Amino acid sequence: MHELPATQGMLDVALEAAREAGASRVREIHLVVGELTSIVDDSVQFYFDILARGTIADGARLVFDREPALLRCHGCGHRDTVVPPLRPTCPACGALELEVTGGQAFRVDSLDVDGGDVEGYSEQAEPSAKASTE
């Protein structure tokens, strides 16, 4: 159910960017979604289809790009990608000194629009539905 406020935040970011660019229609919204988020693509699409009705993003296609989470062991230097559930120890040496980075994003990466220019636009849409500039 947390996809609803996250999707509303993402739509707000996309609509604001499109308006600022003078767009008349949003055709695609390219999203970056971290592997460690519990964001479900189909749920985001479902809520988006409802929330975007009657807006310039109505009928827009969502394009999901998954961001990996990376593990680095402070004990042996081993690096790897990780997916939930996270292991408590290094798979190479068994050390407990692990650092996991990335994999927590949920942001609008770019928009494909008619009647405006937002190429390269990127803004963070937090899973809590808040939006802030990256």
pLDDT in tens, 69-118: 999 999 999 999 998 888 899 999 999 999 999 999 999 999 999 986 55
Strand ranges (E), the chain: 25-34, 61-67, 69-73, 79-82, 98-102, 106-114, 123-125, 131-132
Burial of 106 (0-12, 13-18, 19+ CB in 10 A): buried
* pLDDT score, position 115: 86
129: pLDDT confidence band, cut at 50, 70 and 90? very low
Cβ atoms of residues 88 and 96 within 8 Å? yes
1: pLDDT confidence band, cut at 50, 70 and 90? low
Q: Return the domain boundaries, the chain.
A: 1-67+103-126, 69-102
- Note the CATH number of domain 1-67+103-126: 3.30.2320.50
With b for 16 or more beta-carbon neighbours within 10 A and e for fewer, the 40-49 pattern comes to eeebbeebbe
Judge whether residue 128 has pLDDT over 80: no
Q: Is the pTM of this model over 0.85?
A: no
